[in-house]
Structure 1
Amino acid sequence: MTARDTAAVAEVMRACTRLRVPMTFRSGGTSLSGQALSDSVLVDTRTGFTGVEVLDGGHRVRVQPGATIRAVNTRLAPFGRKLGPDPASEVACTVGGVLANNSSGMQCGTELNSYHTVESMVLVLPSGTVVDSAAPGASRRLAEQEPELHAGLLRLQRRVREDPTSVATLERLFALKNTMGYGLNSLLDHDDPLDVLVHLMVGSEGTLGFIASAVFRTVEVLPHAATGLLVFDDLATASSSVPDVLATGVATAELLDAESLRVAQADPGCPAQIRRLDVRRHAALLVELQADSPDALAGLRGDAEPGLERLPLTSLAELTSDAGERASLWRTRKGLYSAVAAARPQGSNALLEDVAVPVDRLGEICRGLTGLFDTHAYEAPVIFGHARDGNLHFLLNERFDDAAMLRRYEDFTTDMIDLVLDLGGTLKAEHGTGRIMAPFVERQYGAELTGVMRELKQLADPHGTLNPGSVLTDDPGLWLRDLKTAPVVEEEVDRCVECGFCEPVCPSRSLTLTPRQRIVLRRERESALARGDHALVASLDEDYDYDGLETCAADGMCATACPVLINTGDLVKRLRAEGSSRTAERAWTTAAGHWGTATRAASAALSVADRLPGPVPVALSRAGRRVAGTDAVPLYDPALGPGGEVRRPLADPAAEAVLFSACVGTMFGGGVDAALRTLAERAGVRLRTPDDLASLCCGTPWKSKGHHDGYQRMASTVRESLHRATDGGRLPVVVDASSCTEGLTEVLEGMTVLDATSFVREHLLPRLSITSPLPAVVVHPTCSSTALGVTDDLVALARACAGEAGDVRVPGAWGCCAFAGDRGLLHPELTASATAPESAEVATMDLPAGAAYVSGNRTCEIGMSRATGATYRHVVEVLEEATRPR
């Protein structure tokens, strides 16, 4: 079920506790070890719990569990603050998951993790009791409402504190990153039972209660940094050098072994420092210096360089402050798990584990793990991680559907546990105990402290309702059961490692499915086929039509976030093509040959509908949808207004560029075509268009719907037309809608295709003068501007419109509007869901009179206008008005 608020969670927890039905919470995605799974009640807490409230000028922040770390940090950025935990998966991991696992990250260490930066919580206990730890008298009310829990926490506190061996064990283990078992260090660190409970919740993996919200103390963002890659001859040298590296004052030291570097080199966006390496047995440390000013950074660099030069490096260390180069290096590190896992053999699972040892024993653990990989014949294993904390991640490829391979995995894990514990380490550093390590909690803590944990679980959750099997278990063989398998399905599906990076940018995430869920269901369908469960296959196919296909915007935003560039939209387009009827295919192929007529008809239909009383065309469209289906007939929206004008050809033998006006302007109106022509004339830049412009289209409607024949017909027509218009590719093609720019880029190989925002910024804006600056401009980037890399141009034009003193804002919650051509008319619920976070943020903006709202694509303008009630226009239209001669 999807829970929308705290009251709903409390009701479900009370019911499950009363009925003795197990329940598990799910927020973001988790690793194989901590995967949220259940054969009973699974409660999704992402959709209804995404609130972020900045407090005290950014020094504190109240967050609900469904918000991602990236989303929270985006809200804190204007204040120069951020959350303490900084996991590499910040784009996808949610605050709820970070709290549940006590995830830390690359820089926060043990000092700035969730445990040490959380201030208060709103908790829901298995009984349904809701506790706000920040409320006056909260501890007293806990004693009144949950007397056994309150008294039991005091009893456990005395038990631990009075046992010197327990105290010493906890102090030793929690000096490292340690998320194994429960955080019993809270029994030492806090006196009030409520404070103890709050901090026990951190790292408890949803087994003690539900965290409905939390208030964190934030940390300062140091805005000046220098990042570099220290390359060593081998892993042993790199890991043994970590203490000397840390002595130079670096804030981070991320370890990458040879296999990590090789995989990184396969990424088209691989930074030059990695791409030019001739990787053999090399290993590297990604380090960074951070400061609050350029002078302070220069001082840190001066202090660090002598120490770095004394390191046994393969090549001289390069520290760069270039923002692009630094971003490229960190993108490689943050996407490393997914990139490595995606290269695994088909049918295998990528198993990611993490351990921690004292930093001075890092070299030993690296040598020990390498030896175990060889002993158990694991091919191409990967070691990387947070070397500054002695925290290593290692990744193995394994087939859990093969009994022999399962035995190998069992033997390896047993040996690995011995290795880590013999070195004084922890078996889980930041990923949570989960189900795989639950049977080994006693090996790490001993019988006494494990007994304390069991009593704690009994106090908080006496019936074992929450997430059974995680953190603690009485079943020593649990870790070898219910392991995920990876049936071979199709190319897009098989590469996916379910990291979840795609989910926060997916426009359908709060309505139906995310890209990851679409892929998981394809895998489940394949497994059901293999089992002969044809009833389940039929049920999945029936539900997938709407949830998986009809409500996918196919916008490619998932690919912009995916470390291995999987575009689930391409999968959806192919499945749509496979399910398309011959009648529909013929109709769309015919339309490709008569597109001018089709667009004029659409324009005329909108103009006629606009003159009728609103309820009439709405009723007619609804009747058509009942007959032909919601994915075939658009739902009319009176706010669309009349259709646009037919695209006029423009002939100029001396043209400097070829204008490709988008057909959406004919169908849905808008003034970007006229504005762009006017600006070009005003700037003295000459344009021409194809002579058959009115009949052309970028091909996106056919491609997104899966009509292959029609797409090929239109693509061929466009290529021939623009080959003539551009003098064989000599002139650039300028497109006035970003989605059409993206579509034409795929069609016109060998030709230069420019989005209008880029063309205007580079070629027209320097020749224009702002005569009527706007007081404020709100910018909606588009999925296509993101994919094309032209969002900066869109924002730059908005800044030009606003002048030097203007206020330009890009909402932190912006995302794809999901209008997606006609998808917003076919399924308006998709656009409403996709735009809700951004429109809510826009509604809170305190803007002066005369503010403008801009985007770079006509259908996106319609979608955002519908969502916010403000009138969005193409930024080029607004620029034309701002540069009109007085």
Structure 2
Amino acid sequence: MLEGKYQDFYDEVSKIIDTKNLFTDKLHTLAYGTDASFYRLIPKIVIKTDNAKEVEEILKLSNAMELSVTFRAAGTSLSGQAISDSILIVTSRNFRDFRISEDKSTISLQPALTGQEVNNLLAPYGKKIGPDPASINAAMIGGIAANNASGMCCGISQNSYKTLKSMKLIFADGTKLDTADEESKKAFRISHKEFLEGLENIAKETKADKELAALIEKKFKIKNTCGYSINALIDFDDVFEVLQHLIIGSEGTLAFIEEITYETVEDLKDKASALIYFKDVKEACTAVTKIKLAREAKTITVDAVELMDRAGLASIENDPAMPEYIKDFDENVTALLIETRAINDETLDTQIKELEELLEEFEVVRDIYFTKDVAEYTLYWKIRKGLFPAVGAVREVGTTVIIEDVAYPIEVLAEATLELQALFKKHGYSEALIFGHALEGNFHFVFTQDFSIESEVKRYDEFMNDVVSSVAVKYQGSLKAEHGTGRNMAAFIEVEWGKTAYSMMKRIKEVFDPKGLLNPGVIINDDAEAHLKNLKAMPATNEIVDTCIECGFCEPTCPSNDITLTPRQRIVINREISKLEREGNLEEAKEYKELYQYDGIETCATCSLCSTACPVKIDTGNLTKHLRTEQITPSADKIASFVANNFSTTLKGMKVGLSGANLMHKLLGTPSMRSFTSSMRSLSKDNLPQWSASLPRATTIDTHFEQKLDSKKVVYFPSCINRTMGRDSKTTVEEELFDVTVKLLQKAGYQILFPENLDNLCCGMPFSSKGFKKQAEQKSNELEHALQEISHFGEYPILCDTSPCTKKMLESFNSKMKLYEPIEFTLEVLKDNLEFNQIDEPITIHTTCSSRKMGLHEKFIELAKMCSTKVIVPENVKCCGFAGDRGFNFPELNTSALRFLKEDVKEAKYAFSTSKTCEIGLSETSGLDYNSIFYLIDKCTTTKK
């Protein structure tokens, strides 16, 4: 319940912001009030903004009412800089326009594009952006710039500070500035004369103070995001250059980044990586120092050196991708992951040889081996990027994972690292580990903490004070190298920088934000115990998700990420419910559950793509299925059992419904049908499914047709969906999928076998997705038995024409059979029997969630390129959000998931996928006619002679 100025603010802001993007309820404020850090503040109001005009108006209003605001992009922040107990402004995923310059030297970006999305845009031109944080798949540009996030390879030469071209900014009072526009700067000089004079005075004083200037120059020779980027005060003379470079790393405390223009960097494609195991951390760090000095002397070329100590290796040694021998290493072995890149393969070989010769003097426990194999080195880097979340997954349930981020001068790296390990032992953090960007002297160290125990908080405080003394005082390093100051280092900035530099930072804050309304408590914080307050608990809720550390890596893949909740947010809410229930606060827990029903359960597609992005494979879709099972009533269970036991009858009923709907559509026409069915759905309070013009007509298959008896046999299991749903009224194809599949198999020379009692068979997915485990298992067992019989217990390959069903069969069956969906079946079975002739027309494909989880996305692209000279793969679409029949009952999920599809596929003429229900939603949204990939394969193949 809002009170006072917050209610007044809400009343005013609701006049300019759609109320569907304003949240004050406890579910959404908790969900959006959680970032990847170990702090939590619950905002009073959350506002999702789609554009700069909205931000401008919000800031004018908050400034007039003197209410503090915090900006948040993806919320992958690790230091508590994206949370608020006041007003939280979230950049929605639609705030994502971009422009690439004609010569591809610059790219202008709105804040909601992820780093990986930007690199995908630049990849065709051999370019990328400089920053490359481990969270690049999830972290948004606004956060990358605001935190001066760097990463594996960019060091201090290609980070946001060094590759910044210009910015569009919105200040605390709502004033806008475009640093690339002379007219904008001219207007700003008039409206903010005192502001610019104040900033110029700070810069002049800093330059004049030779001792301070020397300190700044020294400290920014290594990575440093502790405090403001005060190197801008001595690096530039133009006040607007000073201004915009101060924004980099300012963590939303100085202004809002509406747009940033980066200078792009070359993305060299010839790469090689080696995972090298040294006898101990001292040997590894000494090697790093030698590599760094050699690179500075330009006698070698190396792009990244990542260190993983023995504890870090132990956290990933059970990953199936890791070699078995890691488990046999002693407690001191330390790994360096080294990458070198070149303009061509010949140069790459030279660079590898130079590195191998440089490292000859060091004691390693395995031979040094550089790989050029893309799959192999990509795996190395994927494991390294997932190390932090992977560590969190092996922690004791209920504890919080803490990651700190320091940098040392390279000449003291070995000595300082050994001292850091000694501090772990001194304070009893036996599980702590070290990894990070060794080439820059930048290490992350991770440990776990139970903040629910007072003595543990005290231990943490004593440890952190020792770390601060060691890093900042003794070794003159950075307390924050790339994760931003946030709340956990704000209290120690003066310790690292001294009184003079810290006073300059305070003056900078006062110039930009005189009322102190932007992200208060972050960077500038006079509370010596700020790092001990607002600590986040991580209570257990369900073993399916308890290992989650709330990093947010999962969020970009989720089809509901822009409409309701993300996987991370679903876990946050479930943890809160479990905590309340354990505390006996059942009324509040019930309130959360009621609020969670639509946002958490009904609009979860259970696609499980979150598990593919999660470094520890947490499947929040499985959590949703578990919760749906808990909600099943005895009457619903009876209905499900009736359907399972009378499956062919149910399918006949579906066909009657489809025929009736299509007859009505034919009589009324599309506009009237859409209007009528929308009205009926509205009257039913959305209990009736939404009609779609892409709704298929009923179909019936006939398995009795003339065949040639042949030694080559294949079992064909047409899914229940494709036995029921045929072509829609708008389609351009002339045959049903079953007939096309049969024709294609016969063209390849196969005799086709069908399982007995086909009309009653189902993989069980329609039941399992709704939580009916018993019925799902029943149907799965029936199908497995029928397929065993007809395939002679796995002697013949088995084809299912729908990818999701195939995946369900692979997961559920106990017997070993060769099960295929269309993509892999074509590449592994049909290809050798067919001649492919590419069509010279643009096509697009949609890889279903199931296909992605089966690792078939790249194979689908390969198959599509065998069929067409131009293949369009929409990078902004992952799961379509149709989720079986959920697209009929919750069409807003499908619409949201595919909101970028039409633009992405506008040049395509034909469209293909491997799931009928997905194709319904894809066709409706895009305006294209999506069909099974088998139609294209049939069109462009002939029997091989």
Judge same fold: TM > 0.5, yes or no: yes
How many Å separate the matches in 1 of 2:838 and 2:448?
61
Q: Secondary structure at the match of 1:836?
A: coil
Q: 1:463 is matched with which residue? A: 515
How many Å separate the matches in 2 of 1:660 and 1:469?
61
Structure 1 residues 122 and 416: alpha-carbon distance in aligned structure 2, compared to 1, 3 A threshold: same
How many Å separate the matches in 1 of 2:288 and 2:438?
7
**Alignment pair present for 1:84 and 2:145:** no
- Alpha-carbon distance, 1:508 to partner: 0.5
Q: 1:34 is matched with which residue? A: 80
Q: Secondary structure at the match of 2:698?
A: coil
How many Å separate the matches in 2 of 1:445 and 1:686?
78
Q: 2:608 is matched with which residue? A: 556
Contact map agreement 1:596 1:695 (CA 8 A) in 2: yes
Contact map agreement 2:545 2:619 (CA 8 A) in 1: no
- Alpha-carbon distance, 1:648 to partner: 3.2
Q: Secondary structure at the match of 2:900?
A: helix
Contact map agreement 1:635 1:826 (CA 8 A) in 2: yes
- Alpha-carbon distance, 1:31 to partner: 4.2
**Alignment pair present for 1:520 and 2:572:** yes
Q: 2:896 is matched with which residue? A: 833
Structure 1 unaligned segments of length 5 or more: list them: none
Q: 1:790 is matched with which residue? A: 856
Q: 1:473 is matched with which residue? A: 525
Q: Secondary structure at the match of 1:450?
A: helix
Q: 1:132 is matched with which residue? A: 178
Which of 810, 815, 823 pairs up with 1:745? Answer: 810
The total of aligned residue pairs comes to 876
- Alpha-carbon distance, 1:343 to partner: 0.7
Q: Secondary structure at the match of 1:642?
A: strand
Instruction: Write out aligned runs for 1:670-689 (5 A).
Output: 670=727, 671-689=736-754
How many Å separate the matches in 2 of 1:350 and 1:572?
25
- Alpha-carbon distance, 1:664 to partner: 1.4
Structure 1 residues 699 and 233: alpha-carbon distance in aligned structure 2, compared to 1, 3 A threshold: same
Which of 291, 310, 317 pairs up with 1:245? Answer: 291
Contact map agreement 1:433 1:471 (CA 8 A) in 2: yes
How many Å separate the matches in 1 of 2:784 and 2:824?
22
Which of 759, 775, 794 pairs up with 1:694? Answer: 759
Q: 2:422 is matched with which residue? A: 371
Instruction: Write out aligned runs for 1:277-288 (5 A).
Output: 278-288=329-339
Q: 2:935 is matched with which residue? A: 877
Which of 846, 870, 873 pairs up with 1:810? Answer: 873
- Alpha-carbon distance, 1:277 to partner: 5.3
How many Å separate the matches in 2 of 1:682 and 1:502?
43
Q: Secondary structure at the match of 2:639?
A: helix
Q: For residue 794 of structure 1, what is the amino acid of its counterpart?
A: F
- Alpha-carbon distance, 1:218 to partner: 0.7
How many Å separate the matches in 2 of 1:640 and 1:533?
46
Structure 1 residues 649 and 255: alpha-carbon distance in aligned structure 2, compared to 1, 3 A threshold: farther
Structure 1 residues 472 and 600: alpha-carbon distance in aligned structure 2, compared to 1, 3 A threshold: same
Q: For residue 882 of structure 2, what is the amino acid of its counterpart?
A: F
Q: 1:181 is matched with which residue? A: 227
Q: 1:406 is matched with which residue? A: 457
How many Å separate the matches in 2 of 1:369 and 1:519?
33
Instruction: Write out aligned runs for 1:48-67 (5 A).
Output: 48-67=94-113
Structure 1 residues 824 and 448: alpha-carbon distance in aligned structure 2, compared to 1, 3 A threshold: same
Q: For residue 882 of structure 1, what is the amino acid of its counterpart?
A: C
How many Å separate the matches in 1 of 2:196 and 2:395?
49
Contact map agreement 2:877 2:897 (CA 8 A) in 1: no
**Alignment pair present for 1:636 and 2:691:** yes
Which of 689, 695, 703 pairs up with 2:768? Answer: 703
Structure 1 residues 409 and 723: alpha-carbon distance in aligned structure 2, compared to 1, 3 A threshold: same
1:275-320 Cα deviation digits (max 9, x unpaired): 5753532110000111111111112123222112232212211101
- Alpha-carbon distance, 1:405 to partner: 0.3
Q: 1:767 is matched with which residue? A: 833
How many Å separate the matches in 2 of 1:553 and 1:647?
33
Contact map agreement 1:257 1:284 (CA 8 A) in 2: yes
Q: Secondary structure at the match of 1:669?
A: strand
Q: 2:703 is matched with which residue? A: 648
**Alignment pair present for 1:335 and 2:393:** no
Structure 1 residues 429 and 116: alpha-carbon distance in aligned structure 2, compared to 1, 3 A threshold: same
- Alpha-carbon distance, 1:533 to partner: 4.6
- Alpha-carbon distance, 1:339 to partner: 0.4
- Alpha-carbon distance, 1:57 to partner: 4.2
Structure 1 residues 859 and 124: alpha-carbon distance in aligned structure 2, compared to 1, 3 A threshold: same
Q: For residue 838 of structure 1, what is the amino acid of its counterpart?
A: L
- Identical amino acids, percent of aligned pairs: 35
Structure 1 residues 624 and 279: alpha-carbon distance in aligned structure 2, compared to 1, 3 A threshold: farther
Q: For residue 48 of structure 1, what is the amino acid of its counterpart?
A: N
Q: Which moved further from structure 2: 405-414 or 585-594?
A: 585-594
How many Å separate the matches in 2 of 1:440 and 1:646?
72
Q: 1:857 is matched with which residue? A: 915
1:449-491 Cα deviation digits (max 9, x unpaired): 1111111111111111111100011211111100111112111
Contact map agreement 1:338 1:564 (CA 8 A) in 2: yes
Q: For residue 854 of structure 2, what is the amino acid of its counterpart?
A: L
Contact map agreement 1:772 1:881 (CA 8 A) in 2: no
How many Å separate the matches in 1 of 2:825 and 2:692?
33
Instruction: Write out aligned runs for 1:393-472 (5 A).
Output: 393-421=444-472, 422-472=474-524
- Alpha-carbon distance, 1:589 to partner: 1.6
Structure 1 residues 649 and 480: alpha-carbon distance in aligned structure 2, compared to 1, 3 A threshold: farther
Contact map agreement 2:70 2:82 (CA 8 A) in 1: yes
Q: 1:100 is matched with which residue? A: 146
How many Å separate the matches in 1 of 2:596 and 2:275?
45
1:657-687 Cα deviation digits (max 9, x unpaired): 2111111113331433222221111111222
Contact map agreement 1:610 1:638 (CA 8 A) in 2: no
Q: 1:384 is matched with which residue? A: 435
Q: Secondary structure at the match of 1:241?
A: helix
Structure 1 residues 57 and 678: alpha-carbon distance in aligned structure 2, compared to 1, 3 A threshold: farther
- Alpha-carbon distance, 1:625 to partner: 5.2
Q: Which moved further from structure 2: 863-872 or 547-556?
A: 863-872
Contact map agreement 1:356 1:427 (CA 8 A) in 2: yes
- Alpha-carbon distance, 1:71 to partner: 0.7
Per the normalisation by structure 2, the TM-score is 0.90
Q: 1:488 is matched with which residue? A: 540
Q: For residue 509 of structure 2, what is the amino acid of its counterpart?
A: K
Q: Which moved further from structure 2: 766-775 or 681-690?
A: 766-775
Contact map agreement 1:797 1:875 (CA 8 A) in 2: no
Instruction: Write out aligned runs for 1:137-148 (5 A).
Output: 137-148=183-194
Q: Which moved further from structure 2: 333-342 or 586-595?
A: 586-595
How many Å separate the matches in 2 of 1:566 and 1:752?
27
Structure 1 residues 314 and 737: alpha-carbon distance in aligned structure 2, compared to 1, 3 A threshold: same
Q: Secondary structure at the match of 1:309?
A: coil
Per the normalisation by structure 1, the TM-score is 0.96
Structure 1 residues 352 and 428: alpha-carbon distance in aligned structure 2, compared to 1, 3 A threshold: same
Q: 2:119 is matched with which residue? A: 73
1:679-724 Cα deviation digits (max 9, x unpaired): 1111112221112222211111111110122112211211221121
Structure 1 residues 731 and 389: alpha-carbon distance in aligned structure 2, compared to 1, 3 A threshold: same
How many Å separate the matches in 2 of 1:386 and 1:694?
59
How many Å separate the matches in 2 of 1:620 and 1:811?
33
